[in-house]
Amino acid sequence: MPLRLRSLLFTPADSPRKMAKGATLPADAIIADLEDAVAPSRKQEARVLLVESLRKLPKGPALRCIRINPVGSPFWPDDLLETFAAEPCCYVVPKVESAAELHLVSQQLTGLEREAGLPVETVRLLAIVETAAGIMNLREIAGAGGRLTALALGAEDFAVDTGAQRTPAGWEILYARSALVTAAAAFGLQAIDTVYTDLADDAGLAEECTAMRKMGFRGKLAIHPRQVDVINAAFTPGRAEVEAARRLIAVFEAHARAGQGVCVLDGKMVDLPIYRAAQDLLARAGEAPAEANADEA
């Protein structure tokens, strides 16, 4: 998986036109959706269309992902078996409530990889947590194994499950968001925020993305092409942030060479956690840390 997984765009698996359109956008991942976007009567047809569509699409930088139906549904085994030939980079597993569900999917993928002559764990997993039980079991889910690369929150289903009413402020899902970010960080996974359902509110989407980036999320699920650019911009550190981080790193490293573990920059204390946060920001921006400049110390 790439270092940055900012925008993940859902496209209906039974719509070759929309899948082709999604592939032209700057989304970091395209998720062909076999779950909510496809009626039960069209699951089989959607799998066939999905494979045909992905095979026709030109190779691009976006990750090719497939959202299967929930483990426990009658559809998910065939979702894997009949779409593996499309060579997805990642399967997205919805409504995950336990590590056992991810282990079942992983076991199926191991068999398919061996049949195809691929190394085990070539295909990755992204788990969407969407229920109260899933949030309570996040520690177990996050530790489910090497295939797992990210955790995402499904807030709409979570609100239904808990009886909460969704609000623009999002207080009703604050605990779920915090728990997911914490679990992801503890196990070295990327945390992906829930969808933003108001398709006409670009300003609101940008504001929520900025707040979630500050909270620790690394990206956001998208449900419309117009959301991709907004999400990418919000989750990509700006030039001023990058320059400030590079300066902070240079000053801290200069003081470290002088035997000082803490320094002051622009009237603010800088210690090791703040230094590491600056390094993380540069990594998310695709930047390399600057060489320390002793003249700034």
Q: Phi and psi dihedrals of 98, rounded to 5?
A: -155, 160
pLDDT single digits (tens) 30-55: 999 999 999 999 999 999 999 999 98
Q: What is the 3-state secondary structure (H, E, C) of 114-156?
A: HHCCCCCCCCEEEEEECCHHHHHCHHHHHCCCCCEEEEEECHH
> Tell me, what's the pLDDT at 201?
96
CA 100 to chain centre: 21
Question: Which residues in the chain come in under a pLDDT of 50?
Answer: 1-2, 289-297
Distance CA 51, CA 85 (A): 7
Going along the chain, which residue ranges are E strands? 7-12, 29-33, 63-67, 90-93, 124-129, 148-153, 190-193, 219-222, 263-265, 268-270
Residue 288 is predicted with a pLDDT of 53
Q: What is the pLDDT of residue 122?
A: 95
Give the pLDDT confidence score for residue 133 in this predicted structure.
98
In the chain, residues under CATH classification 3.20.20.60 are 7-234
CA separation, residue 243 to residues 218, 234, 247 (Å): 20, 17, 6
Residues written for the chain: 297
Give buried/exposed letters for 70-93 (b at 16+ CB in 10 A, else e).
Answer: bbeeebbeebbebbbebebbbbbb
Pick the CATH number of 7-234 from 3.40.640.10, 3.20.20.60, 3.30.390.10, 3.40.50.880: 3.20.20.60
Residues 6+ apart with CB under 8 A from 217: 177, 181, 191, 192, 193, 235
Question: Quick one: pLDDT at residue 255?
Answer: 87
What is the reported pLDDT for 119? Answer: 96
Q: Could you tell me if 127 and 152 are in contact, meaning their C-beta atoms sit under 8 angstroms apart?
A: yes
Q: What is the pTM of this model?
A: 0.86
Give the pLDDT score at 297.
36
> According to DSSP H, which parts of 216-258 are helical?
226-234, 239-257
User: From CA 183, how far away is CA 186, in angstroms rounded?
Assistant: 5
